[in-house]
Amino acid sequence: GNSVTQMEGPVTLSEEAFLTINCTYTATGYPSLFWYVQYPGEGLQLLLKATKADDKGSNKGFEATYRKETTSFHLEKGSVQVSDSAVYFCALRRDDKIIFGKGTRLHILP
Amino acid sequence: EPEVTQTPSHQVTQMGQEVILRCVPISNHLYFYWYRQILGQKVEFLVSFYNNEISEKSEIFDDQFSVERPDGSNFTLKIRSTKLEDSAMYFCASSEAGVRTDTQYFGPGTRLTVL
């Protein structure tokens, strides 16, 4: 079946540290891949997406590359800020529905 | 920037009561969705809706649930007789097209508490 696995949190980093949140997927065919972010008290916001192999999605300094050979879509940022503290969800789209990972809570310390 | 809105932000109800959760999708979008997130768990797909019909639904979306687009702007989720396990955050989403490359835009959610 289709599923998304992402690293367990919480992840705690100091400001300006390098961030990686790992995400791998299982899917038939070629799904589109997404990262959504949920800031405290808010809903799900699209952070970035990639729709085919080797595509790189980027937004607000975050990047993720669609790797078909390793079925991965890891999220990276070179220098995190306190304002990046949130829950990050890796997801794939098959047909009508989006299938989410469990989410990774990120804490950034000043 | 256009956004999906949902009302109310928090709904408290007694077990067995009916609730209606409301959503206003982005105005030029044609595809509508409901998801839910039980506290501490994954966000789960409930149902998709296009052209006044359900196009896909999950096994969670049983006879207690229904969706409707009563007018040109609102999209509603009704739970006929709420159970304790229906307590969750419910997210509405919409997309312009139904293809796999299209982005679904989510609302801020309605927190439903069933007592």
pLDDT tens column, A37-95:
999 878 889 999 999 999 999 999 999 999 999 999 999 999 999 999 999 999 999 78
Do the beta carbons of residue B44 and residue B36 sit within 8 Å?
Answer: yes
Nearest residue to A86 via CA among A17, A35, A23, A39 = A39
- Where residue B99 falls among pLDDT bands split at 50, 70, 90? confident
Distance CA B35, CA B60 (A): 10
> Residue A53 and residue B114: Cα distance in Å, rounded?
43
**Which residues, 6+ apart, have CB-to-CB distance to B59 below 8 Å?**
none
Residues of chain A neighbouring B98 (CB-CB closer than 8 A)? 96
Q: How far off is chain A from B98, nearest CA to CA, in Å? A: 7
Distances in whole angstroms, Cα of residue A98 to Cα of each of A72, B33, B74: 16, 10, 22
Shortest Cα–Cα distance, A27 to chain B (Å): 13
Instruction: Determine phi and psi for A66, rounding to 5 degrees.
Output: -75, 110
State how far residue B5 is from chain A, nearest Cα, in angstroms: 10
The pLDDT value recorded for residue B70 is: 86
Would the pLDDT of B1 be above 90?
no
A45: nearest CA partner in chain B: B106
The answer to whether the Cβ–Cβ distance between A93 and B48 falls below 8 Å is: no
Q: Which of B82, B79, B58, B84 is nearest to B68 (CA)?
A: B79
